[in-house]
Each structure stands twice: as C-alpha cells, then as structure tokens.
Amino acid sequence: MANDVFVTGLGVISSIGTGVEANWDALAGGISGITKSSVYGLDEGFPVGEVKLNNQQLCENFDITISPVSRTTLLGVAAAKEAWGNQQVIPGIRTGVIAATSVGGMDQSERFYSQWLKGDASEMGLLACHDSGISAEIIAGRLGISGYVTTLSTACSSGANAILLGARLIRSGRLDRVVVGGMDALCRFTIQGFNSLMIYDKEWCRPFDAGRAGLNLGEGAGFLLLENEKSMQMSGTVPYGLFGGGANAADAYHQTASSPDGKGATLAMAEALQKAGLQPSDIDYVNAHGTGTQNNDLSESAALKNIFGEKIPAFSSTKGYTGHTLAAAGAVEAVFAMLCLKNSAVLPNINFRKPIEETGLVPVTEWQSMPVRAILSNSFGFGGNNTALVFTRL
C-alpha cells in the first residue's frame, strides 16, 4: 500500500557486538556485554555495557577522521553506515536522517570541564561536540544525505521517537526514505546522574525480577532504514518487515518516576496498536523497556496488564545483555525486534528468578523459536516520555 513503511536496513553496535550478525549471535548464545567495571576509565564499581572498541579503533574501523569527535558520534556513524549499506542518494527519492541522543557529546564536554575547573581552557575545542545535533549532521554527511536532518532528545525514549517520527514523515508524504536511530556513549555524567537517583544497581541488573535493584548503563547505537514502496522499488532493497504503527504519550506524573498505574505507557501502547490496526491478541512478543529499576518494571507490568489483561504475550527485556543504552535503547531494541520477526524467535530476559509480587508477570527466560508476526517494543523516558512501536512481518 502507498502508506506502508518498510524496514529495509538495520545497523547496530552495542556491548554485545559490532554489527547485526554479532549482536544476534550474542543474543542467541545468551552472552551479556555487561562487565563488572569499565575498561575505558569510567567510574569504578559500576557495572557497564561498554562497546569493546576504544575511540581510536572506532575511528579506524569506520574510517572517521573528524576531530574533535564524541564517542556518541562514532557509535552513531558505525550503526548508521551499516543500516544504510550500499545505498546511494537518488534524485527524486527524498531522503532524511533522524538521530536521537540523550547527552550527545557529553563524554567530551566532561573531559573539557574537568580541565576547566582546574583553570585549564586548552581543550575548549572539545565543546564543539556538545551540540547534540552534530552527530546527526556528521552521519548525514557520511551517507551523502542533505536536507531533512534532525535530532530528538527525549531521554530514554529518544531512539524509539526517531523511528516514530521517521515513519510519520514518510506517511505524511514529506520523505520517501529516512535513516532513523539513536546513539549514546557511556560517560560519567549519566553514571553519576543515575547513581544520584539511587537507581544504579552495583550488581548485574535484573529486569522484572522481584529482587531487582536498578539499572546498569550501556552504550551503543541502533539505526534502521525506513522506506516507502516507491523508494524501495528504486533502491532495490529487500524489506525485513513493516513498521506497523507507533505512538508517544506523556505520563504527566513526575519528572523522573513513572506512574504506578502505568498511565502514559498504557496510552502509548493502546494508540500504537490502534495505529497499526491490530488487537492486543495479535501481538506475539513484547520487547519491554524493562530497565531493572523498582519503579519502571512495576509501572510497565501494570501497563502490560492494562493492555493485555490476563493474556500477556511472551515478553522480555534485553537490558541484561546490553545495559540501558539510553537514547540508543529504543533503536537497538527495534533492530532486535526486526531480527526476531525475521528469525521467528523471541529473546530471553536474563537474570530473572522470581516474579514481582504485585503483578506476578513472568518474562521469557529461554531462547524460544516460535512464529512471530507482530512485535510491540516499549521505550519510556524521563519527563514521562512514553513510546510504543509495533513492527509486523510482511
């Protein structure tokens, strides 16, 4: 149909691997990327999901010569290049880029600022990376795309919102295809921030488990190529599946905490299903936001019950693999969702032992091969920013 939005390219880099294949292999093998502490000099004592390449290796592997450049940009370029593949800019196919980041080049800003506090202004040039929009512009430049390029920043739902906006722009007729995704590098700013909120687990995170004690941060990037039918015919791509529909809703409860009844999450999921023209019973798998914090997992469980009643589909959080990659999370998990559709499998929620008492929900704990026709993917962020996306098989 003229209104269809096809997912025709995928790219991902995370602590479990560089590239789609490596990530899928790690997911299938049950291998987490979270390590007890940082290899790259971040604060001690915080388990993190680091991408196992340093900045120099990222520059070399992805042929990036820009300087100064933030790690966030490097990760974004890596995933966006993979999603774009061998595509070319074609006259007549309006192509855009929508990237997402929560803290942009904070890894460089904090480097400057710690010197600045000591009276040393020599690294001020690093602040060029502080503009959160710069990563999207560098990505667009690398792919040869100009014109519509924007960046969304809605904390932990940013990546999902980039996908949603991309699909809306295609459906509205403003674009024919769009590279969409999210990226965030680990930095002390976010580690210390989540720790100040007392929601950083010093142990390996346990999403949806009764004994969960917070999140582990991760880093990475996920990108997708979305196209309409005309663009797909001209570019010769083969779709992985369809973007069915999506929605964003505000929880309007608290600046950081989610409402106990999961109001915003429920609204987002209900509207996403409606936009996709699906019933709750059509959903075979939910890739949950599932950060491992007391608050999120309880609120999300309540929202799942609001939508699905007693018939909760197979669901899991993959944050035990990757850590919470903030603005990248929604996009990384959308890539995982597309791979689940393609490979007819659902992913285990590692570290789950005992259900949350109030809701009793039990996620998928083992790798399962099963027919998957439609997936719901949740992403919730600070400011009560809730997004749900539906992906379907062709």
Partner 1 sequence: MFYINAASTLSHQPSFMNPGFSASLVPLSGEEMMQPVAYKDYIEGNLLRRMSRILRMGVVCAKECLKTDHNLEKLIQPDAILVGTGLGCLADTEKFLNTYLTVEGMLPPTSFIQSTHNTIAGQISLTLGNHSYNMTHTQNSLSFEHAMLDGMVGLTEGKGDLLVGGADEKIELLDTVAEAFDFSEFPLSTGVSFFRLSSRKNEETLGRVADVEVVTGVQDPEKALHEFLSGNNCAPSDISKIFYQAPRHDYLMKNKSGMPGEWINSIAFSGLYATASAFAFHMALDEMSRAKDHCKILIYNHLNPNNLGLVLLESVEA
Catalytic residue positions, numbered: 156, 289, 324
- Residue 89 binds partner 1, judged by CB under 8 A: no
Number of residues located near partner 1, criterion CB under 8 A: 63
Evaluate whether 183 touches 328 at the Cβ level (below 8 Å).
yes
Q: C-alpha angle with apex 52: 288 to 224, nearest 5 degrees? A: 45
CB of 32 to partner 1, least distance (A): 26
2-10, 33-41, 54-62, 139-147 -> range binding partner 1 (CB under 8 A): 139-147
| Backbone φ, ψ for residue 256 (5° rounding) | -120, -35
Among 35, 38, 256, 306, binds partner 1 (CB under 8 A): 256
- Residue 279 binds partner 1, judged by CB under 8 A: no
Q: 155 or 224, CB closer to partner 1?
A: 155
Q: 121 or 370, CB closer to partner 1?
A: 121
21-29, 50-58, 122-130, 287-295 -> range binding partner 1 (CB under 8 A): 122-130
Taken in order 185, 188, 193, 196, is the CA torsion positive or negative?
Answer: positive
CB of 131 to partner 1, least distance (A): 5
Residue 316 CB-half CA count within 13 A? 24
Evaluate whether 190 touches 129 at the Cβ level (below 8 Å).
no
Q: C-alpha angle with apex 167: 286 to 184, nearest 5 degrees? A: 70
Among 113, 295, 305, 306, binds partner 1 (CB under 8 A): 113
The sheet with strand 217-218 has its strands ordered as: 34-35, 48-49, 217-218
Q: Which residue has the tokens 């019933």?
A: 279
Coil, strand or helix: which one is 5? strand
Q: What is the dihedral of CA 91, 159, 241, 7, to 10 degrees?
A: 10
- Residue 368 binds partner 1, judged by CB under 8 A: no
b/e map 188-216, b = 16+ CB within 10 Å: bebbebbbeeebbbeebbbbbbeebbbbb
- Residue 19 binds partner 1, judged by CB under 8 A: no
Catalogue the E-assigned strands of 196-336. 217-218, 220-227, 241-250, 285-287, 314-316
4-12, 290-298, 338-346, 375-383 -> range binding partner 1 (CB under 8 A): 375-383
Evaluate whether 394 touches 244 at the Cβ level (below 8 Å).
no
Those residues with Cβ within 8 angstroms of residue 372's Cβ, 6 or more apart along the chain or in another chain:
284, 285, 340, 341, 344, 345, 346, 393
Among 80, 179, 267, 334, binds partner 1 (CB under 8 A): 267
- Residue 249 binds partner 1, judged by CB under 8 A: yes
Q: 197 or 210, CB closer to partner 1?
A: 197
Q: 81 or 393, CB closer to partner 1?
A: 81
Among 28, 59, 130, 282, binds partner 1 (CB under 8 A): 130
Among 50, 251, 297, 300, binds partner 1 (CB under 8 A): 251
CB of 256 to partner 1, least distance (A): 5
Stretch 174-233 residues interacting with partner 1 (CB under 8 A)? 174, 188-189, 192-193, 195-197
Instruction: With CA atoms as reference, report the closest residue to 298 among 269, 265, 323.
Output: 265
CB of 385 to partner 1, least distance (A): 6
- Residue 342 binds partner 1, judged by CB under 8 A: no
Q: 26 or 164, CB closer to partner 1?
A: 164
CB of 229 to partner 1, least distance (A): 20
- Residue 354 binds partner 1, judged by CB under 8 A: no
Those residues with Cβ within 8 angstroms of residue 333's Cβ, 6 or more apart along the chain or in another chain:
159, 222, 287, 318, 377, 379
CB of 330 to partner 1, least distance (A): 14
Evaluate whether 394 touches 276 at the Cβ level (below 8 Å).
no
- Residue 255 binds partner 1, judged by CB under 8 A: yes
Instruction: Enumerate binding residues for partner 1 (CB under 8 A).
Output: 97, 102, 104, 109-110, 113-114, 116-117, 121, 124, 127, 130-134, 136-137, 140-141, 145-155, 161, 165, 168-169, 172, 174, 188-189, 192-193, 195-197, 247-256, 263-264, 267, 381-385
